[in-house]
Amino acid sequence: MQLTQKLLPFIRSLRWELTLWFGGLSLIFLLGAGFYVGGIATRALADHSGEVLYLRAKSATDLLETNLREREEEIALLTRSPLFVNNNLGSGAIRQVLEMRQQANSEYAWIGVTDVDGWVVQATDGLLVGAQVDQRPWFQEALTGRFVGDVHEAVLLAKKLSNEASDQPLRFIDFAAPIHGPNGELRGVLGAHAHWRWVTETVESVMTADLAESGIELLIADRDDNVIYPFAHVGVTSLPDAGPSGGNYKRVRWADGQEYLTSVLNMNTELERSLGWQIVVRQPLEAALAPAEALRNYLWLLGLIAVLAFVLIAQRLAVRVSRPIEQLAAAARTVARRSGRPKYPKNVHTWELQQLVGSIHHMTDSLLQQERDLKELNLSLENQVAERTRELSRANRQLEKLATHDALTGIANRRHFDEKLIELFHAFRRTHRPFTLMIMDIDYFKRVNDQHGHAHGDKVLQHLAQLLHNQVRVTDFVARYGGEEFAVLLPDTSSEPDGYGVAEKIRAAVENSRFPGGLKVTVSIGLSQVKSADTDLHALFERADQALYRAKEQGRNRTLLS
């Protein structure tokens, strides 16, 4: 009771109330700020983590799509080679080509050729030669077109090939394409079994050690939402219902009861037969938000420390404010009691504090105005720099186009053509990917200039350039080589007939086209495919030029291959 009576005056004092109010408001503000900043950090971190998952899923999807398309195209291109079209499918040369292709691409476990009845007539390492595979899906589907099969366990090859992963069965995906003869008749089927680990290593290549430490996991699911990779999830895990689609990621609760940040991308490979696979990258929500949780705890700790410091400061300030009042009260009591001379508070700087506040206010306004002026000046300078940069970029693009494109026709000029030719030749020396050089000349072009004038001749050149651009593939390269002479580069022409077909298509299109003024124009074309024996570009040019010369000697409006 006595303690309460002693504390009551202190609790009801101005000093205590100022300390309590200041400390309480500081606590509410700092904790509120901590919650607010923590919430923002949590959302930002979730968005960042979700985008990381999406980018990894996108990278894995794009990489896998590209590899599958390349393997499908590789098998299809192989079936169109003259060796498969014209030769005996059971020949040793066929086997040598298959084994060379298997050695060049370690993802292939087996490549084989069957006849139209499904008997394996040749294969890598002689495996399954003489076996009947007419009931296998890859054979049946490939009789009518290209085929890419879903993942499956090894059947015939299970005991014939070694399995590096002892904890799971040997699994493959299949590629197959029909083999046709010179007249289009079906001769057989070329099939290949690619290791499933090639697929998994492809998608896992986008994952790094730091991502794995963060609990990020990559999965592959089939069209029925069943997980087919990793093997530990096969037959156990399926994709949960993530609700309406939208956004790059979602918070999804999986069958194990744990909530994950999940990004799912459908794989659109543009294959003849869609596999319907889905690439899934997920991360436990708890692991994804762990840094935000640590930040929130850190902010709370700092807030509590700051509150204690503010309480101490508030107590000192409260003493400074209340002491003059207490002194005035004591002086009043002294006067009332007539107990002596009153002592009034000294060193009260109220007026000086007001002057200081006024000076600071004036100084702040001045600084803010200067800051606004500086920001406006900086914005003006940035706009000028940006505009000058855009103008410079436009000028550079124009200069680059003038340096690499023909001013009359708008297509590449000779300089650009020479650079592209050197690039293809160097690539051929490294990768042995062939290409074809096509040189064409407008027949009797001098007559056009003599009879109709050079302005009309320019229109003919422009029309021909546009026609060439429309007739070639996106990957082909068209250039005006000089005067009425044009050149075309045809990358990835696996055989000379391929290039010849393109050249004939162009020649026929020119012959059937109506040029300005109703003129009929024809071209003579010389072709040459790069050869392994070519040590430089001179031999390639010489062959193409000789073919063009012979085409003109033999009556023009024709294509000759050298």
Domain containing residue 179: CATH number: 3.30.450.20
The pLDDT tens digits for 259-282 are 998 888 888 756 666 788 888 989
SS3 call for 268? coil
| Amino acid occupying residue 324 | P
Does some domain include residue 224? no
Supply the range of the domain harboring residue 191: 80-201
Q: Same domain for 380 and 438?
A: no
In the 8-state DSSP scheme, what is residue 231? G
Q: Same domain for 192 and 99?
A: yes
1 has pLDDT over 60: no
The per-residue pLDDT for 313 is 75
The pLDDT tens digits for 186-206 are 999 999 999 988 888 888 888
Does some domain include residue 328? no
295 has pLDDT over 80: no
- Computed from CA positions of residues 510, 512, 517, 523, in that sequence, does the dihedral angle turn out positive or negative? positive
Average pLDDT over residues 172-181: 94
How many domains would you assign to the chain? 3
| Alpha-carbon distances of 406 from 381, 403, 458, 464, 484, rounded to whole Å | 38, 8, 12, 13, 12
The per-residue pLDDT for 244 is 67
The pLDDT tens digits for 465-475 are 999 989 998 88
Nearest by Cα to 477 from 549, 392, 405: 405
Cβ partners under 8 Å of residue 221, min gap 6: 227, 228, 238, 239, 264, 277, 278, 280
The per-residue pLDDT for 289 is 79
What percent of the chain shows pLDDT beyond 90?
38
Strand partners, 523: 442
SS3 call for 106? coil
Q: Are 188 and 121 in contact (CB under 8 A)?
A: yes
Q: Same domain for 424 and 536?
A: yes
Q: Same domain for 540 and 422?
A: yes
Q: 459 vs 49, which has greater pLDDT?
A: 459
Q: 165 vs 469, which has greater pLDDT?
A: 469
Rounded-to-integer distance, Cα 395 and Cα 389, Å: 10
Does some domain include residue 46? no
136 has pLDDT over 60: yes
- Scored b (16 or more CB within 10 A) or e, 521-544 reads bebbbbbbbbeeebeeeeebbebb
Q: Same domain for 541 and 445?
A: yes
The per-residue pLDDT for 496 is 78
Q: Same domain for 555 and 418?
A: yes
361 has pLDDT over 50: no
Nearest by Cα to 270 from 492, 72, 472, 494: 72
Angle between the 414-431 and 537-553 helix axes, to the nearest 10 degrees? Answer: 120
The pLDDT tens digits for 394-453 are 756 666 666 789 989 999 999 999 999 999 999 999 998 999 999 999 999 999 999 999
Strand residues in 196-297 grouped as ranges (E):
217-221, 227-229, 250-253, 259-266, 278-284
Q: Same domain for 556 and 445?
A: yes
Local confidence band at 379 (pLDDT 50, 70, 90 cut-offs): confident
Does some domain include residue 236? no
Q: Same domain for 433 and 377?
A: no
Rounded-to-integer distance, Cα 540 and Cα 562, Å: 9
The per-residue pLDDT for 377 is 76
Both tokens of 140, joined, read 């049946």
Q: 498 vs 428, which has greater pLDDT?
A: 428
246-254: long-range contacts, CB 8 A cutoff, minimum separation 24: 247/50, 248/50, 248/51, 248/53, 248/54, 249/50, 249/51, 249/53, 249/54, 251/46, 251/285, 252/282, 254/282
Local confidence band at 81 (pLDDT 50, 70, 90 cut-offs): very high
Both tokens of 134, joined, read 């007419």
Does some domain include residue 421? yes
Range among 8-22, 343-357, 408-422 with highest mean pLDDT value: 408-422
Rounded-to-integer distance, Cα 57 and Cα 278, Å: 9
Last residue of a domain, one of 201, 232, 249: 201
Q: Same domain for 433 and 479?
A: yes
The per-residue pLDDT for 360 is 42
Does some domain include residue 554? yes
Rounded-to-integer distance, Cα 314 and Cα 330, Å: 23
Q: Same domain for 358 and 442?
A: no
Rounded-to-integer distance, Cα 134 and Cα 117, Å: 7
221 has pLDDT over 70: yes
Cβ partners under 8 Å of residue 259, min gap 6: 251, 252, 253, 284, 285, 286
Q: Same domain for 456 and 387?
A: no
Cα–Cα–Cα angle for 419, 422, 426, rounded to 5 degrees = 140
Q: Any idea which of 24-33, 106-115, 378-387, 479-488 has the lowest mean pLDDT?
A: 24-33
Rounded-to-integer distance, Cα 345 and Cα 52, Å: 66
Q: Are 450 and 507 in contact (CB under 8 A)?
A: no
The per-residue pLDDT for 494 is 81
145 has pLDDT over 70: yes
Local confidence band at 11 (pLDDT 50, 70, 90 cut-offs): low
Q: Same domain for 463 and 548?
A: yes
The per-residue pLDDT for 356 is 43
Does some domain include residue 425? yes
* Mean pLDDT taken over the chain: 82
Cβ partners under 8 Å of residue 159, min gap 6: none
The CATH code of the domain that includes 479 is 3.30.70.270
Rounded-to-integer distance, Cα 149 and Cα 275, Å: 7
Does some domain include residue 174? yes
Rounded-to-integer distance, Cα 472 and Cα 478, Å: 8
Average pLDDT over residues 504-524: 93
36 has pLDDT over 90: no
Rounded-to-integer distance, Cα 377 and Cα 371, Å: 10
